[in-house]
Structure 1
Amino acid sequence: MKKYLQLAVILGSGTVGALLAQWLGLPIPFLLGSMAMSATVSLTTFSRTGERLWFPARLRHVFIAVIGIMIGTTFNADALNAASDLAITLPAMVLFLAIAQIVNFGIFRRIGGFDSVTAKYAAMPGGLIEAVSLGEKAGGDVEALSLQHFVRIVLVIVSVPLLFQLFTDEIVGSAAGKTLERAAAEWQDWMLFSVLVPIGIMLGSLLKLPAGPLIGPLVLTAIFQATGVIDLNGPDMLVSVAQLVVGSALGSNFARSTPRRLLSAFSLGVLSVGATLAIASGFALLLERAVPMTFEALLISFAPGGVTEMSLVALSLGVTPVLVTTHHLFRIILTVTVAGILTGRTNHIGKG
């Protein structure tokens, strides 16, 4: 009963926060609002216990899969047509990730005072769940890693839409009413979701894909959608609920934190995200001369976080979301894969 009471409080507070954020017109309100309110309640109500709040992983994975499927529905022939451009931008992203990793490592190691292992995984520009998991295996500070990557995602999905609004005077992303829903969903679409969610999660687990609950369903849906096997229209309401559940789950991690640690994490996060976005801007300026993509499209493609919201920002700017999503998936997969290899080597050396 205690566990289910905690779950009810987390989801209840997340719902209130999501509706409030929507009323205020914030970007990606169901994710940010639920995270913020759930974190506030967890920090003020449960932090005294020092215990991690109970939130069933399966529930979170199901709704992460829903988001993955929704992104997968944006894949079409445009992805193949953009292959020549991706041949230029994806190698550039490899260099971008290397530079961002080095710069962020310096911030967390020198300014934040993290130990070298924690600093290395906190500096990873992608893969929240994977970064924390790999960092734990390598002996890093799990709480610090969870908090720092949480802060990274929040700052990116808040700052990028607000920066576009500031400099272009146009509202973008979900705050502009943009959604990934292409048409009204019918009962066949709901049936497809009920089939793709479990199969996609199973696929991600069997293939040991990074961010398996997201990438498995996404890749499965993208293949079927791009080849014309299915024509899935994802209900926007379902995506909102998914974001609410995932956001509430992330916010519940604050039950073991303190206001002082939060302030420190956000201060370091501002430095890290600011530096990373500055580097991304430099790459965008250079690449817009080589590929038929605008500076804005390249910037949101290189921004380190928020696949769904960056796709919505792309829709607002008239950019095909598939291009943005492809870059973000490449960023996450490459970052997690390299970190996994390094972690394996470190553990092997330690055992030897």
Structure 2
Amino acid sequence: MHKQYLAIFLLAAANGLLFSLLHLPLPWTLGPLVMAILWKTVLKKPVFWPKKIRNMGMVVLGYMMGSPFTPSVASQVLQQLPIMLTMTLTLITICLVTGYISGRYTGVGLSNSLIGSIPGGLSQMSVICEEIKGTNISVVTLMQTVRVITVVFMVPLLALHGLADHATPAARVVKPLEMHQLQLLVLIAIILIVLIKIAKRIHLSNIYILIPVLGTAALVLTGLDAPALPAPVISLAQIVVGIKMGSDVDFGSLGNWKTIALVNLLTVLSVIFFILGAAYTFSHIFPMSFVTAFISMAPGGMSEMALTAMSANADLPTVVAYQLFRLLFILLVCVPVTRWLIHRQQLKHA
């Protein structure tokens, strides 16, 4: 069994590297995901990947999402809370309506069409899918993957070559961690593990997503300087999450997967153009540029949208604040409400 873990990990890492060299979006998540699917469907070999390893990766990614929540970003969130709520509700409504329509065309069912269209993270939605009865993780992952790939390609293209006045390449300065930063990371890790254990005892949902994000954000708000993680650590976390996502997917059971992918591609493209119109309207009502409003509303990952904002000379703190607010709103409000709606619908059918 351990040899099988090592084999799939090495193949997944190699595919992640290939995706990275080809400059494909989210290479260290989508590369392993694709490799795990190929391992199952082409080689006809089972993929065993423990949830515990995936959960450790989720904690690392949650730390990354919570670490930008500095006091200045928190202050901005409070000042612009009504605008953020309006923009977030607009985006989620557009996504759910178009998801419902695509669900009617593809016949994947209400549960899958709603969860698959929620603009949360690819890995977060796959974990949430496990907790909602009546959902098919293969369908949800396919829908979310189509959304992520389309957004990661289209939003930077439109922002950098259509909306930005003076786009400049973003530069990332990577510095080796110093000893006090390593000690700080160990301390934060211990705190997050304790919080996760407490949350587990009181039976909270989505703890491996929610607790690292909120816990890290709370620590940063107290004045703690959360060190940036080395790139290999971030890549490793994405690999172990991507493998688990791929191992849970069984496209062989989806006879109409091509139809689902095509309809959702058209759906996501329509969402992006709806957002363009909404962002243009918001930029004339509220004090923000068109490109900042567009990237802030874009249903992509926070790190990818932040990098796009840097390249397009958009207001980076605003983009980070809006993306983080949407993530927390989805986890704390949207997912529980959607779960309740699905449960209510299932009771009616029963």
Under TM normalisation by the shorter chain, which class is it?
Answer: 0.7 to 0.9
Where does the alignment leave 5 or more consecutive residues of structure 1 unmatched?
none
The amino acid that maps onto 2:290 is F
Name the residue aligned to 1:115: 109
Where does the alignment leave 5 or more consecutive residues of structure 2 unmatched?
none
Please give the per-residue CA displacement for 1:159-182, whole angstroms capped at 9, x wherever unaligned: 333444553699999xx6655x77
Please report how far the alpha carbon of residue 267 of structure 1 lies from its aligned counterpart in structure 2 after TM superposition: 0.8
Distance 1:347 1:26, change over 3 A: closer
2:8 matches 1:10: yes
Is the CA contact (8 Å cut-off) linking 2:65 and 2:213 kept in structure 1? yes
Name the residue aligned to 2:340: 341
Question: How far apart, in 1, do the equivalents of 2:6 and 2:210 lie?
Answer: 28
2:59 matches 1:60: no
Is the CA contact (8 Å cut-off) linking 1:311 and 1:324 kept in structure 2? no
State which of 189, 193, 209 in structure 1 corresponds to 2:185: 193
Question: How far apart, in 1, do the equivalents of 2:167 and 2:142 lie?
Answer: 27
Question: How far apart, in 2, do the equivalents of 1:158 and 1:37 lie?
Answer: 21
SS at match of 1:185: coil
Is the CA contact (8 Å cut-off) linking 2:185 and 2:226 kept in structure 1? no
Is the CA contact (8 Å cut-off) linking 1:122 and 1:131 kept in structure 2? no
Name the residue aligned to 2:283: 288
Is the CA contact (8 Å cut-off) linking 2:28 and 2:235 kept in structure 1? yes
Name the residue aligned to 1:133: 130
Name the residue aligned to 1:101: 96
Name the residue aligned to 1:314: 309
Question: How far apart, in 2, do the equivalents of 1:40 and 1:170 lie?
Answer: 42
Residue correspondence of structure 1 range 31-42 to structure 2 within 5 A:
31-42=29-40
Distance 1:115 1:237, change over 3 A: closer
Question: How far apart, in 2, do the equivalents of 1:100 and 1:70 lie?
Answer: 25
Question: How far apart, in 1, do the equivalents of 2:167 and 2:236 lie?
Answer: 21
Name the residue aligned to 1:228: 223
Please report how far the alpha carbon of residue 271 of structure 1 lies from its aligned counterpart in structure 2 after TM superposition: 1.7
Residue correspondence of structure 1 range 237-276 to structure 2 within 5 A:
237-255=232-250, 257=252, 261-276=256-271
Please report how far the alpha carbon of residue 262 of structure 1 lies from its aligned counterpart in structure 2 after TM superposition: 4.0
Question: How far apart, in 2, do the equivalents of 1:259 and 1:341 lie?
Answer: 26
Distance 1:92 1:108, change over 3 A: same
Name the residue aligned to 1:26: 24
Name the residue aligned to 1:152: 147
State which of 277, 292, 295 in structure 2 corresponds to 1:297: 292
SS at match of 1:257: helix
Question: How far apart, in 2, do the equivalents of 1:231 and 1:121 lie?
Answer: 32
Question: How far apart, in 2, do the equivalents of 1:343 and 1:10 lie?
Answer: 35
Is the CA contact (8 Å cut-off) linking 1:66 and 1:239 kept in structure 2? yes
Is the CA contact (8 Å cut-off) linking 1:18 and 1:31 kept in structure 2? yes
Please report how far the alpha carbon of residue 25 of structure 1 lies from its aligned counterpart in structure 2 after TM superposition: 2.8
Please give the per-residue CA displacement for 1:129-164, whole angstroms capped at 9, x wherever unaligned: 3552354x1x34443233323332333234333444
2:66 matches 1:78: no
Please give the per-residue CA displacement for 1:36-90, whole angstroms capped at 9, x wherever unaligned: 33433333123xx6x6x32111111111111211232212122233122232122
Is the CA contact (8 Å cut-off) linking 2:296 and 2:320 kept in structure 1? no
Please give the per-residue CA displacement for 1:281-306, whole angstroms capped at 9, x wherever unaligned: 22211111233333223223222232
Distance 1:348 1:261, change over 3 A: closer
Question: How far apart, in 1, do the equivalents of 2:14 and 2:83 lie?
Answer: 44
Please report how far the alpha carbon of residue 210 of structure 1 lies from its aligned counterpart in structure 2 after TM superposition: 5.5
Count, aligned residues: 339
Please report how far the alpha carbon of residue 336 of structure 1 lies from its aligned counterpart in structure 2 after TM superposition: 0.7
2:195 matches 1:203: yes
Question: How far apart, in 1, do the equivalents of 2:146 and 2:111 lie?
Answer: 19
Distance 1:42 1:177, change over 3 A: farther
CA RMSD of aligned residues (A): 3.3
Please give the per-residue CA displacement for 1:14-35, whole angstroms capped at 9, x wherever unaligned: 2112212222233433223333
Name the residue aligned to 1:329: 327
Percent identity of the aligned residues?
24
Question: How far apart, in 1, do the equivalents of 2:236 and 2:157 lie?
Answer: 24
Please report how far the alpha carbon of residue 198 of structure 1 lies from its aligned counterpart in structure 2 after TM superposition: 5.4
The amino acid that maps onto 1:129 is S
Query: TM-score, normalising length from structure 1?
Result: 0.81
The amino acid that maps onto 2:125 is L
Question: How far apart, in 1, do the equivalents of 2:338 and 2:86 lie?
Answer: 18
